[in-house]
């Protein structure tokens, strides 16, 4: 039996929140369903063609799925829950934003670092279940698309969307077009190499990656390693979670300023790599770690970022964490967008 949404949180949009796209063709399209499958949460929304989030629900991502069907059944139940008795087949399409490498041709997630499965076929089972088009993209290009249509990326030809949450990822718009690469997985910036001192292992199986130090999932491991190397002893179990660590910093726990400086250096290396790789005019930061702790993290970014190239504008997204969901709603209408096509080359292309 597949997973059933447990502890489902229903978040109706009280004021029919509207994120105007600025792209006239988009506003004429029908209502769609958008899915954001993350490492910690799954969010599903009904979104109108002009960016109105009619209703949004969320639930924790299944922690230990035994098979891809567990994830697929979970998403299906959430889609049915949000349809409120409407026939899902009457919606214009389903757009799915997923945290992890994707193959858009096969409609699959491949080796997601935060879900312990080698492959998750999503598009095919959802098409079979609901009989409408289903389109799948990586969550960070989806976030960049959401920002381009509805957020701070509107009117900006060169920007990078960065999420620092359970994991770390990026979406790049260069010259007004999305940068996707061979299979839609370009700008996997969480796997930029930023350290050789601690050599912490990333979820992908390789050491020294940005995500292995500064993501919500791995900050506690970095903190533990840092404490051991610097002979810092702590009392209590607050060091086992990123929120606990940041709260301890705010309450003035002794010695943590030094850890924050080290975390700042790691983050600045990642941001510096982004700047020299893509030369953006703007960096839009998103994800729970940075949104909830910008007061602690942003000053350190600015202190340690390299100045080889001019510093772009760096700020927090104003879409309140909804960028990937809104981007998924755009893709639900089709892979061809104002940022170019999101349908990438086949696996065997060379």
Fold of the CATH domain 9-140+322-341:
Nucleotidyltransferase; domain 5 (3.30.420)
User: For the chain, which residues make up each domain, given as ranges?
Assistant: 9-140+322-341, 152-316
- What is the enclosing helix (H) or strand (E) of 35? strand 32-37
pTM (two decimals): 0.88
Distance CA 113, CA 217 (A): 11
pLDDT band of residue 63 (cuts 50, 70, 90) is confident
- What is the enclosing helix (H) or strand (E) of 163? strand 159-164
Residue whose C-alpha is closest to residue 61's, from 131, 123, 139: 139
- Checking if the pLDDT of 247 tops 80, the result is yes
pLDDT digits (tens, 9 = 90+) for 183-219: 778 899 999 999 999 999 998 899 999 999 999 999 9
Q: What mean pLDDT is predicted for residues 17-42?
A: 70
pLDDT band of residue 244 (cuts 50, 70, 90) is very high
Residues 6+ apart with CB under 8 A from 171: 138, 140, 141, 142, 143, 144, 145, 160, 161, 178, 187
Residue whose C-alpha is closest to residue 95's, from 130, 41, 134: 134
Fold match, 9-140+322-341 / 152-316: yes
Fold of the CATH domain 152-316:
Nucleotidyltransferase; domain 5 (3.30.420)
Q: What mean pLDDT is predicted for residues 36-48?
A: 92
pLDDT digits (tens, 9 = 90+) for 106-115: 889 988 877 8
Mean pLDDT score across all residues of the chain: 88
Residues 6+ apart with CB under 8 A from 154: 22, 147, 148
Q: Which of 37-41, 138-142, 211-215, 340-344 has the lowest mean pLDDT?
A: 340-344
pLDDT of residue 27: 43
pLDDT of residue 8: 35
pLDDT of residue 225: 96
pLDDT of residue 222: 98
Which tokens sit at 210?
């940005």
Q: What mean pLDDT is predicted for residues 284-294?
A: 97
Displacement of CA 205 from its chain's centroid (Å) = 20
Q: What mean pLDDT is predicted for residues 67-74?
A: 94
Neighbours of 279 (CB within 10 A): 13
Q: What mean pLDDT is predicted for residues 279-295?
A: 97
Q: What mean pLDDT is predicted for residues 157-174?
A: 96
Q: What mean pLDDT is predicted for residues 29-53?
A: 90
């Amino acid at each position: 039996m597949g997973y059933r949404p447990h502890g489902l949180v229903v978040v109706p949009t009280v004021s029919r929140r509207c994120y105007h796209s600025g792209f006239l063709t988009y506003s004429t399209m029908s209502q769609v369903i958008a899915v954001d499958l993350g490492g910690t949460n799954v969010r599903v929304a009904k979104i109108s063609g002009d960016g109105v989030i009619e209703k949004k629900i969320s639930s924790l991502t299944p922690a230990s799925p035994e098979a891809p069907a567990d994830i697929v059944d979970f998403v299906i139940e959430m889609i049915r829950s949000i349809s409120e008795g409407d026939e899902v087949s009457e919606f214009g399409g389903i757009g799915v934003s997923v945290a992890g490498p994707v193959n858009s041709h096969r409609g699959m997630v491949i080796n997601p670092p935060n879900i312990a499965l080698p492959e998750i076929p999503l598009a095919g089972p959802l098409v079979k279940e609901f009989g409408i088009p289903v389109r799948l993209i990586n969550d960070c290009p989806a976030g960049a698309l959401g920002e381009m249509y509805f957020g701070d990326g509107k009117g900006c030809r060169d920007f990078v969307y960065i999420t620092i949450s359970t994991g770390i990822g990026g979406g790049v718009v260069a010259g007004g077009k999305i940068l996707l690469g061979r299979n839609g997985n370009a700008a996997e910036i969480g796997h930029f190499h930023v350290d050789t001192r601690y050599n912490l292992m990333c979820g992908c199986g390789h050491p020294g990656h940005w995500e292995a130090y500064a993501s919500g999932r791995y900050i506690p491991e970095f903190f533990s390693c840092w404490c051991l190397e610097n002979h810092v002893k702590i009392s209590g179990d607050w060091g086992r979670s990123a929120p606990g660590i940041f709260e301890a910093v705010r309450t003035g726990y002794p010695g943590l300023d030094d850890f924050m400086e080290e975390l700042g250096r790691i983050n600045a290396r990642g941001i510096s790599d982004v700047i020299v790789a893509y030369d953006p005019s703007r960096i839009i930061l998103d994800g729970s770690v940075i949104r909830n702790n910008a007061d602690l993290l942003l000053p350190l970014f600015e202190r340690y970022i390299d100045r080889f190239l001019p510093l772009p504008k760096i700020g927090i997204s104003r879409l309140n964490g909804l960028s990937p969901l809104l981007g998924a709603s755009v893709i639900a209408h089709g892979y061809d967008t104002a940022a170019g096509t999101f349908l990438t080359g086949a696996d065997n292309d060379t």
